[in-house]
Every structure is written in structure tokens, then in C-alpha cells.
Structure 1
């Protein structure tokens, strides 16, 4: 049975590309969560005034991929020590955040923060926020790396290093590394 987790780690194009390459991930959807405007648009969220984060909702098979392993990949492939920022993307919409669906997910998330903090000299600033209404991003944001990202200079600068880190640090979990 598919389980879902919602994570925000900067630009959703970049986080989506990483998790689409993880064995056990069945779906990745880009969207917006954590704000106070109904049916926000990309333009509104990018303005930083809606309170939403760019996020991904990951569907995964817990028989193939444990939530703790998925969260370890999340922390390894973005900078969880930057407040409201990932690289050149600045603002609360690019915050590092997790949105648990229940107490068990929240417990796993707290444990993942502790594991990630053990490997960092700077404090982890990732927040655990209440699960609120999920708004799917506009269609052109879905599967962005596969459809448009390889011709987008920003994506070409940011996504390949994230994928390299995944394939090096989590080779047994990477679809590309296993089939290479």
C-alpha cells in the first residue's frame, strides 16, 4: 500500500528530480502547502506572500523504502541549515520543512533531524509544520526535469549535483545507479 510524505526543500523542480530517481518511490507531485491563500498560483507563491512552501508529495512503497531512509535522502540532498533559502532561491517559499500526516511520521521526522544534525556543524533549521491543504502545482511544473529542466540553465546548475550526491551516497537506492 502506498504511503505519502510531504517535504519542502527549496525549488520543487530540484527536489522532484531527486526523488523520481529513488527506488521505492512510486510518484512525486509538485505543489504548495503551508500557506493561507486558497488555490495559490506559482506567481503568488514565488512572491513569498502566501505563506506556502514549494513542496513535493512523495508516494512510496514502505515494503521497498522506509520513511527514515527517504528522509535521510531528503537531508543529504538539500541544505537544511539555510533558513528560508536554498542556493539562489530566497524567501519563505523555499524553506526546509516537513508536513507529517500523523504522529508516527512526526516521530520519524524528528529522528531524521537528529541524524542530520549529527553530521552538521551548523544548526538544522528544518521545521515540522502541520499538514494543511495540499495544492497541486500547475501542470507544467510536474515532471519538470524530464520535460523542460535539461534546457533550463538554473536546473542544469542545480539538479545534476543533487543527483550525483544521491547516486554516490545512496547508490543502492538510486534507479540510475542500480541500472548503470
Structure 2
């Protein structure tokens, strides 16, 4: 039986964290680090980090829609980062680290806006949600060395101090959804 593969593109701070988490989930075919939403054609990591390309660090997720819904993807996304921090996640500061949902179609836009409204009404965070919901534009996959970065660079200090604790918390919360 053929799988029904859909895509989601999300920005929630450093793409190494988000990509590593999604690649660990059942129903995820692949998750790739990339850039989206900016004005620069063919952005590089260095240019995006300088903060004036308009791009956000994103993760492009290919998922089996028979196993996970788009809403499931977004619920996990909101558990992975703080959607109330404007243009930052923790010590990573700049528009490239903004919280954003880059929708691929009107259905994804509606699901995202509905979920954000529900989450805001639940008053989970002390501050308002600032996650932008915008049409996907100017997507570029990041350089090869960014793909599976956490797995390939376990001794990296940032990975040990930021990514590993975030993933440990994620794995505990979503243990039943992890790949074997």
C-alpha cells in the first residue's frame, strides 16, 4: 500500500533541534534543515546567521499522513519550542530564529490558525503566542553539513548544552511515538 506523503515547513529556533526531534518520530519519512521566508536567493548559513536575509531556519518535514495529521505535526512543534519568544529561542536571537509556520496550502493555514487560537485560549504560556503563519516562500535546503547535525556531531558544545537536553525532554514526552 502506497504511503500518503505530505510536507510541513516549520521554524522554531535552531533547525538542529527541530530536525533531530522530528526525524526520531514514527510517521516521519524525513526532516531536512533549510531556510525559508526571506528575500535572498540561494542563502547560505553564514548569510542567514547575519540576520538580514529575511530567512528563518526551518525544517522541511515529509510525513506519512496515514500515521500523522498536520495537526499532530503542529502539536509536536509547539511542544518543541517557546512560541511566545519573538525572534529568538533561548540564547539564539534574531529573525532567523523566529517561530513560524510556513503553510503549503489553505488547509494547512486553517489548521495552524485554529490550533494557535485554541492554544491561546488554553492560556498555556504567560505571554501571547507570536508564531507567524505565512505562505511558504523561497525555501532552500541547508548545506549538507547541517543535515542530521546533532547525530553527526555529538561532541559539539552547542549540541551538548542546548540540543541534547531539549531532545531528552522531547523523547520523554513523546516516547510512545518514537521510532524503534
Aligned to 1:136: 141
Mapped partners of 2:118, 2:22: distance in 1? 20
CA offsets 1:42-70 (integer angstroms, 9 cap, x no match): 10000000000000000000111111111
> Which of 119, 140, 161 does residue 157 from structure 1 map onto?
161
List alignment gaps of at least 5 residues for structure 1.
Answer: none
Instruction: Verify: 1:46 aligned to 2:46, yes or no.
Output: no
Q: Is 1:166–1:174's contact at 8 Å kept on the other side of the alignment?
A: no
Mapped partners of 1:156, 1:73: distance in 2? 22
Instruction: Verify: 1:173 aligned to 2:180, yes or no.
Output: no
> Which of 26, 29, 36 does residue 23 from structure 1 map onto?
26
Instruction: Verify: 1:32 aligned to 2:35, yes or no.
Output: yes
Instruction: Verify: 1:126 aligned to 2:140, yes or no.
Output: no
Question: How much does 1:89 deviate?
Answer: 0.5
CA offsets 1:79-103 (integer angstroms, 9 cap, x no match): 1110000111100000000111111
Mapped partners of 1:47, 1:159: distance in 2? 21
TM-score by length of 2: 0.93
Q: Is 2:82–2:89's contact at 8 Å kept on the other side of the alignment?
A: yes
TM-score by length of 1: 0.93
Aligned to 1:74: 77
Mapped partners of 2:26, 2:50: distance in 1? 34
Mapped partners of 1:19, 1:115: distance in 2? 23
Instruction: Verify: 1:94 aligned to 2:122, yes or no.
Output: no
Mapped partners of 2:70, 2:132: distance in 1? 17
Of residues 163-172 and 55-64 in structure 1, the stretch that sits farther from structure 2 once superposed is: 163-172
Question: How much does 1:108 deviate?
Answer: 1.1
Question: How much does 1:111 deviate?
Answer: 2.2
Mapped partners of 2:164, 2:84: distance in 1? 21
SS of residue matched to 2:16: helix
> How many pairs does the alignment contain?
175
List alignment gaps of at least 5 residues for structure 2.
Answer: none
- CA-based RMSD: 1.2
Mapped partners of 2:115, 2:166: distance in 1? 19
